[in-house]
Structure 1
Amino acid sequence: MKVSAEIKALEDKLGHTFRDKALLRRAVTHASMSGPGREDNQRLEFLGDRVLGLVMAEALLAHDRNASEGLLAPRFNALVRKETCAEVARTIGVGDALKLGRSEQMSGGRRKQALLGDAMEAVIAAVYLDGGFDVAQDMILRLWAPLIASVEEDAKDAKTTLQEWAQGRGMTPPSYTEVERSGPDHAPVFTIEARLATGETARATAGNKRQAEQAAARALLDTLS
């Protein structure tokens, strides 16, 4: 099978030379180009999403052995969402290799976030089917390494983490209520209650409202584990 320059360049970025070139070709074929004898990437996308999820779950557990489920869940969601897959796809030139119908090409399909995210998941599945789980895992960890490091750093903001945890489950953002203020005016002490829409609460006290809110969010995350 003749291999295009774009497919060869993508192989190089992936760090995997395909035994079955048709797998990679299918992974970058959008539904707008499917037809008799030419499969699109939708089934591969379904599989790739699951492979990525398993690799990310194992990676997060290994990178932070003390993190609760309340901390791990928003990190996981951030790493496997379409936006993140599209970001990785851009860095390795998946858009250049996409096979699109004329309408998608004319509407800028090579830059569309949804198409890039879907194709990246399909490429993961193609690597998995061609090389096995260990090969796919090595590739994912290499491409996602900077994102794993940054999402763990971002997770230190407990309020952000709690909000992402809630939104990931279809809940409204948590609320923060000042339930007590004590001490003199020049050195007040605040007690803040963090509450989820489902009723879970936690309280914390600090010398300013922001610190108390962060501490309350952290305490609530701990209870959610």
Structure 2
Amino acid sequence: MKLSADLKALEARLGHTFSRPDLLVRAVTHSSMSSPTRQDNQRLEFLGDRVLGLVMSEALLEHDKSAAEGTLAPRFNALVRKEACADVAREIDLGEALKLGRSEMMSGGRRKEALLGDAMEAVLAAVYRDAGFDVAKALILRLWGARVHTVDADARDPKTSLQEWAQARKLPPPKYELVKRSGPDHAPVFTIAAKLENGASAQATDNSKRKAEQAAASALLAQVNS
């Protein structure tokens, strides 16, 4: 199989030449483009998530040989969650190589965090299937770069930290409400309010609803801890 120009360019950005180019094609094919003769990237995404997890686990253990599990777990989650994968995908312009159906493309699929994160995991699995674990590990460590060494010692999701704060004070879990949605369908902007039963609240805005919720939780945490 001969790769298209955009996939050859992606190969160059990855720094890996595929002996089985069909794996890369499958890794960038969204389910909106699947057909009986064209496989999508969902199964590769499943595998890539596990490959990434093993590499990050080993890297964190090597980086901090004395860290307890309770310290390593939030660092691990910060490195493997969908946002981190999407950030890496943006750095290598993975979105430009995605194979999307018309409706997904028209709705801004090349910029969607979930699609980018899933595709990044699928690409990692494609490299693993193509060349083995050692090559995939080297590629992951190169792409994730300094993230392993700079991840916060307490990298817990702000929503988790806020919920733990509320539980410690015998309050119900915080609630997240959509205050406003603006912008076109292909690039929506969400304003989310995080609220506690004691009346405390904070808002945040982002083009990702999940990021807006996290930012609102972080703002509310800062407020109640000040």
Tell me if the contact between 1:84 and 1:117 (Cα under 8 Å) persists in the aligned partners.
yes
Tell me if the contact between 1:166 and 1:174 (Cα under 8 Å) persists in the aligned partners.
no
CA distance in 1, matches of 2:146, 2:119: 20
The alignment status of 1:172 with 2:163, answered yes or no, reads yes
What's the offset of the Cα at 1:173? 1.9
Identical residues among aligned pairs (%): 67
What's the offset of the Cα at 1:172? 2.4
Tell me if the contact between 1:27 and 1:40 (Cα under 8 Å) persists in the aligned partners.
yes
In structure 2, relative to structure 1, the CA distance for the partners of 1:37 and 1:145 (3 Å cut) is same
In structure 2, give the amino acid aligned to 1:140: I
Tell me if the contact between 2:63 and 2:149 (Cα under 8 Å) persists in the aligned partners.
no
CA distance in 2, matches of 1:12, 1:149: 26
In structure 1, give the amino acid aligned to 2:165: P
In structure 2, relative to structure 1, the CA distance for the partners of 1:105 and 1:166 (3 Å cut) is closer
What's the offset of the Cα at 1:107? 0.6
Residues 80-127 of structure 1, C-alpha deviations (whole Å, 9 max, x = no match): 000000000000111010000000110110000000000000000000
What's the offset of the Cα at 1:164? 4.2
1:84 maps to which residue? 84
Residues 188-220 of structure 1, C-alpha deviations (whole Å, 9 max, x = no match): xxxxxxxxxxxxxxxxxxxxxxxxx9xxxxxxx
- SS of 2:9's partner is helix
Pairs aligned (count) = 170
Tell me if the contact between 1:73 and 1:165 (Cα under 8 Å) persists in the aligned partners.
no
In structure 2, give the amino acid aligned to 1:144: W
What's the offset of the Cα at 1:166? 9.1
Tell me if the contact between 1:70 and 1:165 (Cα under 8 Å) persists in the aligned partners.
no
What does 1:24-173 correspond to in 2, within 5 Å? 24-151=24-151, 154-155=152-153, 160-161=154-155, 164=157, 167=160, 172-173=163-164
In structure 2, give the amino acid aligned to 1:17: T
In structure 2, give the amino acid aligned to 1:28: V
Tell me if the contact between 1:41 and 1:119 (Cα under 8 Å) persists in the aligned partners.
yes
Tell me if the contact between 1:45 and 1:125 (Cα under 8 Å) persists in the aligned partners.
yes
Tell me if the contact between 2:32 and 2:104 (Cα under 8 Å) persists in the aligned partners.
yes
CA RMSD of aligned residues (A): 2.2
CA distance in 2, matches of 1:174, 1:67: 23
Larger radius of gyration: 1
What's the offset of the Cα at 1:174? 3.5
In structure 2, give the amino acid aligned to 1:72: L
Structure 1 segments (4+ residues) deviating >2 Å: 163-168, 174-177
CA distance in 2, matches of 1:165, 1:102: 35
What's the offset of the Cα at 1:36? 1.5
CA distance in 1, matches of 2:30, 2:159: 33
